[in-house]
Amino acid sequence: MFFIDADSAPSLPAVNLEPLGQSLIYSATDLVTSAQCQFATLYALDQALGRVPRLERIEDPQLRRAAALGEAHEQRVLDDFVRAYGTWDPASGQGVYQVEPPRTYTRQALEEKREETLEALRAGADVVFQASFFDGSFHGRADFLVKQPDGSYRVVDTKLARTARVPALLQVAAYADQLHREGIPCNPYVSLILGNNVESLHELATLTPVFEQKRQRLVEILTTHREPGAAPVSWFVEAGSPEITRCGRCDTCQVMVREHRDMLLTSGITAKSRQTIYERCGVQSIDELAALAGQPQLPALVRRYAEQAALQTGVSEPDGAVVVEREGQEHTVSYKLLPRHSLRMLPRASTGDLFMSLRSDPLWRDEKAAHPSLAWGLTYLLGATHLADQPGEEPLLSQFWASSRATEGRLLTDFLGMLHHQRQLNPGLRVYYFGAPVMAALQQLASVHGVGEAFLTDLQREGVFIDLSEVLRRSMRLSEGTRALTAIEPLYAQGLEPDLDIPVTAFADVTEAEKEGRAEQAEAMRAALTRSLYRTGLSLSQLRA
């Protein structure tokens, strides 16, 4: 979303909030944002108008890496098209035509790029890369327009995701709409070339009604929000304010939630539950929600989150609390047992018990994958901490590493072999872990490699695997807004070294260091990952105790 010079010089005073002589332009990205979170869209408009402070974005290394991988994926697809059709030949009007982005975003520049795109299409280019559209209010750049045997053009977009998602389909529908507006024959299908190189084909007729509805709503809220007297968008709903959606998850919403102490700070609450509570009780902040705790005849949903909010804000009396120092300030971590907790239902501890954790890299890519489903994601480290057999001895860590799809299979085989051996030695052992994603990853490994699926199913049926996060969820409320293991450690952990700051890009960093011959640095990073895994195992063992 941005402003450009207006189509003609203004002869009358401005009738809306746009800067004099400027016109608002929205993009396909704005359309997607609006479909997911109208608040974020209007806040972006207010930023463009200078009515609210610009939000500081914290750079995310994983997002930066995903963006780079997305660009590489797009380049691979472009290279494939060039190999198939050749580079652009002006004489024959064939090949792949590439539209460079405008150097400046002015009306003239956008119109010139639009005309350049149309000329390539009318000349019969086999593929137009980064096709530029501009209709006076919308600007977008389609990854590819691919000529079909019947002479029509199909909108083709590249996405790093492994499944087609609604936001991506809205984008390609927007570009198809621009083709129709320009009188260019548009193929009745659009497609996404996904990160696993699978082309996902979609019928335009099913997408167009949704696109038109979302576009109309976007234009409506942008127009209304620029009318004279319109106030900047407010996070909390006010009487008479326009009804807009708030996703509660995007970066903009997260900043607003913290600044306004919104009830979304309440652990476990969803945007849908927030809306229900607001409609029933009229509260919006976590403090207002906490004040409801203890009131009679509250609906079950409201009562549950009100009691959680009361514990988080310190309104209710906890069953136990620990004061710790965080960022130079005292912070209290507390808990309250639920009436029918399940702590006593935990099986008796066994000397053979294992405490399992793993590390995965979802953006790892296998360039030589035998099947698209095997192209992305690698579990590169799995560990199990064994309690010491004798008092005074240190717990031991069994660790299994992988660096490829093949070695990932060996990682799983070796772990299951170790587990089978330990069960023979200690038939009553349990395997403790923290969080459903750990077990989901283990099951996914078994499915991908065709190893140990029946064995894992039997162990689960026998109750060998125990998710301590689920035990906690069913047993107590915690004062922390997150159920991350490190957040609740002050309640039980003793003698653990400080949590290591392991970046989400750790394995990619290790791989890069090894490729570049920085062996010492790579080994240091591997050692840090091992210590982190061991620390998690120790923490889980203390939590179990």
Question: Are residues 160 and 284 located together in one domain of the fold?
Answer: no
Question: Are residues 178 and 280 located together in one domain of the fold?
Answer: no
The total number of residues written for the chain in this structure: 545
Tell me the C-alpha distance between 486 and 477, whole Å: 16
Q: Which of 449-453, 460-464, 499-503 has the lowest mean pLDDT?
A: 499-503
Question: Are residues 304 and 351 located together in one domain of the fold?
Answer: no
Query: What is the per-residue pLDDT across 52-70, written as a single tens digit (0 to 9) for each?
Result: 999 888 788 888 888 999 9
Question: Are residues 497 and 378 located together in one domain of the fold?
Answer: yes
* Position 388 confidence tier, pLDDT thresholds 50, 70, 90: confident
Give the pLDDT score at 25. Answer: 92
Phi-psi region of 53 (alpha: psi -120 to 50; beta: other; left: phi over 0): beta
Question: Are residues 94 and 50 located together in one domain of the fold?
Answer: yes
Give a yes or no: residue 229 inside a domain: no
Q: Residue 468: give its domain's CATH number.
A: 3.30.420
Give the pLDDT score at 493. Answer: 81
Nearest CA to 498 out of 358, 360, 330, 326 is that of: 326
Pairing assessment for the beta strands 376-386 and 396-401 based on DSSP bridges:
antiparallel
Domain extent, residue 278, equals 261-313
Q: Give the distance from CA 417 to its chain's centroid.
A: 34
Question: Are residues 300 and 347 located together in one domain of the fold?
Answer: no
Tell me the C-alpha distance between 368 and 454, whole Å: 29
* Position 330 confidence tier, pLDDT thresholds 50, 70, 90: confident
Give a yes or no: residue 41 inside a domain: yes
Coil, strand or helix: which one is 262? strand
Give the pLDDT score at 10. Answer: 46
pTM of the model: 0.86
For residue 12, pLDDT beyond 60: no
Q: Which of 227-241, 421-435, 451-465 has the lowest mean pLDDT?
A: 227-241
* Position 20 confidence tier, pLDDT thresholds 50, 70, 90: low
Question: Are residues 453 and 516 located together in one domain of the fold?
Answer: yes
Q: Which of 189, 220, 251 finishes a domain? A: 220
Tell me the C-alpha distance between 210 and 476, whole Å: 43
Give a yes or no: residue 450 inside a domain: yes
Tell me the C-alpha distance between 156 and 148, whole Å: 12
- The pLDDT of 426-433, averaged and rounded, is 92
Give the pLDDT score at 348. Answer: 83
Pairing assessment for the beta strands 431-433 and 354-365 based on DSSP bridges:
parallel
Question: Are residues 375 and 447 located together in one domain of the fold?
Answer: yes
Q: Do the Cβ atoms of 130 and 142 come closer than 8 Å?
A: yes
Give a yes or no: residue 188 inside a domain: yes
CA-CA-CA-CA dihedral for 300, 305, 308, 310, to nearest 10: -100
Query: ∠ CA 520-525-531 to the nearest 5 degrees?
Result: 125
In Å, how far are 74, 105, 394 from 116, measured between CA atoms? 21, 15, 70
Question: Are residues 438 and 528 located together in one domain of the fold?
Answer: yes
* pLDDT > 90 fraction of the chain, expressed in percent and rounded: 66
Give the pLDDT score at 37. Answer: 96
Give the pLDDT score at 372. Answer: 76
Neighbours of 492 (CB within 10 A): 13
For residue 8, pLDDT beyond 70: no
How many C-alpha atoms does 225 have within 13 Å on its Cβ side? 26
Give a yes or no: residue 523 inside a domain: yes
For residue 11, pLDDT beyond 80: no
- The pLDDT of 253-282, averaged and rounded, is 94
Q: Residue 52: give its domain's CATH number.
A: 3.90.320
The more confident residue out of 327 and 490 is: 490
Q: Which of 15-19, 152-156, 268-272 has the lowest mean pLDDT?
A: 15-19
For residue 13, pLDDT beyond 60: no
- The pLDDT of 252-263, averaged and rounded, is 95
Alpha helices in 250-325 (DSSP H): 251-259, 271-281, 286-291, 300-313
For residue 454, pLDDT beyond 90: yes
Q: Do the Cβ atoms of 129 and 155 come closer than 8 Å?
A: no
Give a yes or no: residue 241 inside a domain: no
* Position 47 confidence tier, pLDDT thresholds 50, 70, 90: very high
The more confident residue out of 545 and 313 is: 313
Give the pLDDT score at 16. Answer: 58
Q: How many domains does the chain have?
A: 3
Give a yes or no: residue 244 inside a domain: no
Question: Are residues 347 and 456 located together in one domain of the fold?
Answer: yes
Question: Cα-flanking dihedrals φ and ψ of residue 432, to 5°?
Answer: -100, 140
Give the pLDDT score at 289. Answer: 96
Question: Are residues 358 and 496 located together in one domain of the fold?
Answer: yes
For residue 495, pLDDT beyond 50: yes
Tell me the C-alpha distance between 381 and 415, whole Å: 11
Task: Quote helix, strand, coil % in the chain, to nearest 5.
Answer: 45, 20, 35
Which residues lie below 8 Å from residue 56, measured CB to CB, with a gap of 6+? none
Query: What is the per-residue pLDDT across 175-199, written as a single tens digit (0 to 9) for each?
Result: 999 999 999 999 999 999 998 888 9
Determine whether 193 is exposed, middle or buried from the number of CB atoms within 10 Å of its CB (0-12, 13-18, 19+): buried
Give the pLDDT score at 58. Answer: 79
Give a yes or no: residue 39 inside a domain: yes
* Mean pLDDT for all residues in the chain: 90
Coil, strand or helix: which one is 156? strand
Question: Are residues 306 and 351 located together in one domain of the fold?
Answer: no
- Give the helix/strand (H/E) hosting 119: helix 107-123
Q: Which of 220, 247, 271 finishes a domain? A: 220
